[in-house]
Amino acid sequence: MADIEFVQFHPTVLWQGAGARGQQPLISEAVRGEGAYLLNGAGERFMVARHEMAELAPRDVVSKGIVAMMEEEGSENVFLDCRHLGTRYLKDRFPTIWERLAERGIDMAHDLIPVAPAQHYHSGGILTDLRGRTTQQGLYAIGEAACTGVHGANRLASNSLLEGLVFGARAAADAASTVSDGTVTQREPVDRPGPSALVPATMRPQIQSLAHRGAGPVRDGAGLARAGERLAAIRGRFHHEGALTGQPQIAEWETSNVLACASALVAAAHAREETRGGHLRTDFPDTDDARWKVRLATHLDPDGDLQVLRAPLQI
C-alpha cells in the first residue's frame, strides 16, 4: 500500500448524526459556487475571516475552516445556507440534491442544511506499476483501489477517467498475456500461518471514530499517536488473542478490513511529518521537499506487524 495518508475530504457532506452509516449524501461544491453561505451555530459566515475566497476557497481550506469552527463551538456540524437563492432556482439548478434532502425532510429553500467534512477519496491505495501490476504476482489493481501516482498528494478529479479507462485496459492486456505465456499459473490456496480471528462488527463505530479523530481533515502528532495506540490495542486483542464472540458474518469481515485500513492510514500519517496535498499536520504546517518528497509504503512483516517504508517517487 502507498500514499494512503493522502485523503481528500469533501467539506460539505450532509450531517445526519453520529449514528449515520454507509455513504452519506454530498452537498456539491457547486451549491457554494452559486452563492450559498457557510454558517456557524450563531448564524455567522465564519469563512469570510479565514480566507480571501471565503466559501469558495479550495476543499482542504474549507474543510480545515469547518473543523476549526466545530472545535471552537464544541459542535458536530456547521450549516449551509442557500435560502436566499430561492425555491425555483434551487429546484432547477440542483434537482438531485433537492430530492435527496427532501427525502430526509429538509427543504433547502427554507431550511439550513447541517454539513460536516467527510472522507471523499483516497489518492493512495495498492501500489501498482503503469500496467496495474502490484507487488504480488498475479494480483492487479485499478481505479480507486490502486495507487498509480497520477493523483499525486491530492485528487485530480479528471484523472479518475485515466485510472479506470487507461489503466483498466493496460491491466487487462497484461493479465491476459501473463496467463497465456505461462508466467502466472493456477495454484492451490495456501493456509495462512498463525492464529486468525475477525473483529466483531460492534467495534466498527469505535474504529471509525478513532480514525476520524486522529486522521481526519486536520491532524497532529499527538492525535495520530493516540489513535495508533488505540487501534493497535484493538488489533492485539482480536487478531493475536483470537477472540471473537458468535459466528462471523459479512459485517465482521468488513469491520476487520476497516481496522486494517485505519491502522495503515494512521501509521503513514503519523510518519509523514509535513503538510502536503490532502495530508494536513498542524504541528508540521509546511511542505518539506528535502525530507519528505518520498512515497510511504505500508506492509505487514512476517509476524503480522505493520511497517512503514520510505521509497523514492517514480518518475
pLDDT tens-digit map of 77-127: 999 999 999 999 999 999 999 999 999 999 999 999 999 988 888 888 999
Nearest residue to 139 (alpha-carbon basis) of 83, 179, 107, 86: 179
**Whether residue 138 is found in the same domain as residue 223:** no
DSSP class per residue in 108-124: TTTSPEEEEEEEEEES-
| Span 207-237, pLDDT tens digits | 988 998 899 888 999 999 999 999 999 988 8
**Whether residue 173 is found in the same domain as residue 207:** no
Residue 212 is assigned to a structural domain of this protein? yes
**Whether residue 172 is found in the same domain as residue 208:** no
Find out whether 29 and 66 touch, Cβ atoms under 8 Å. Answer: no
**Whether residue 65 is found in the same domain as residue 150:** no
**Whether residue 136 is found in the same domain as residue 221:** no
**Whether residue 147 is found in the same domain as residue 220:** no
What distance in Å separates the CA atoms of residue 252 and residue 83, rounded to the nearest whole number?
43
Is residue 21 flagged as an active site residue? no
Q: Which of 59, 155, 219, 281 is catalytic?
A: 59
**Whether residue 110 is found in the same domain as residue 15:** yes
Nearest residue to 266 (alpha-carbon basis) of 226, 310, 206: 226
What distance in Å separates the CA atoms of residue 106 and residue 116, rounded to the nearest whole number?
16
**Whether residue 231 is found in the same domain as residue 298:** yes
**Whether residue 163 is found in the same domain as residue 86:** no
Residue 303 is assigned to a structural domain of this protein? yes
Residue 2 is assigned to a structural domain of this protein? no
What distance in Å separates the CA atoms of residue 138 and residue 253, rounded to the nearest whole number?
23
For residue 68, what are the domain limits?
7-121
79 phi and psi angles, rounded to 5 deg: -130, 145
**Whether residue 44 is found in the same domain as residue 150:** no
Residue 192 is assigned to a structural domain of this protein? no
Q: pLDDT grade, residue 262 (50/70/90)?
A: very high
Nearest residue to 5 (alpha-carbon basis) of 242, 198, 247, 268: 268
Q: Where are the alpha helices (DSSP H) in 181-292?
A: 204-215, 221-235, 250-271, 289-292
What distance in Å separates the CA atoms of residue 210 and residue 216, rounded to the nearest whole number?
9
* pLDDT(245) > 70: no
**Whether residue 97 is found in the same domain as residue 176:** no
% of the chain surpassing 70 pLDDT: 93
Q: Where are the alpha helices (DSSP H) in 74-191?
A: 87-93, 95-103, 159-161, 167-180
**Cα torsion 116, 117, 118, 121: sign:** positive
Q: Integer distance in angstroms from the first to the last C-alpha of the chain?
A: 18
SS3 127: strand
Task: Identify the CATH number of the domain in which residue 223 sits.
Answer: 1.20.58.100
State which of 121, 140, 161 marks the end of a domain: 121
| Span 168-188, pLDDT tens digits | 999 999 999 999 998 888 888
- pTM for the predicted model, two decimal places: 0.82
Q: What secondary structure letter does DSSP report for 167?
A: H
**Whether residue 140 is found in the same domain as residue 207:** no
What distance in Å separates the CA atoms of residue 225 and residue 230, rounded to the nearest whole number?
9
What distance in Å separates the CA atoms of residue 91 and residue 1, rounded to the nearest whole number?
43
How many domains, in total, are found in the chain?
A: 3
What distance in Å separates the CA atoms of residue 295 and residue 1, rounded to the nearest whole number?
10
| Span 132-181, pLDDT tens digits | 999 888 899 998 899 988 888 888 777 778 888 899 999 999 999 999 99
Residue 75 is assigned to a structural domain of this protein? yes
C-alpha cell at 104: 430526509
C-alpha cell at 56: 469558495
Residue 266 is assigned to a structural domain of this protein? yes
Residue 241 is assigned to a structural domain of this protein? yes
E strand or H helix at 236, and its extent? none
* Residue 210 CB-half CA count within 13 A: 25
State which of 79, 99, 121 marks the end of a domain: 121
Q: How far is CA 266 from CA 5, 90, 188, 222, in A?
A: 7, 39, 34, 12
Q: What is the pLDDT of residue 269?
A: 95
- In this structure, the dihedral spanned by the alpha carbons of residues 177, 179, 183 and 188, taken in order and rounded to 10 degrees, is 160
Residue 35 is assigned to a structural domain of this protein? yes
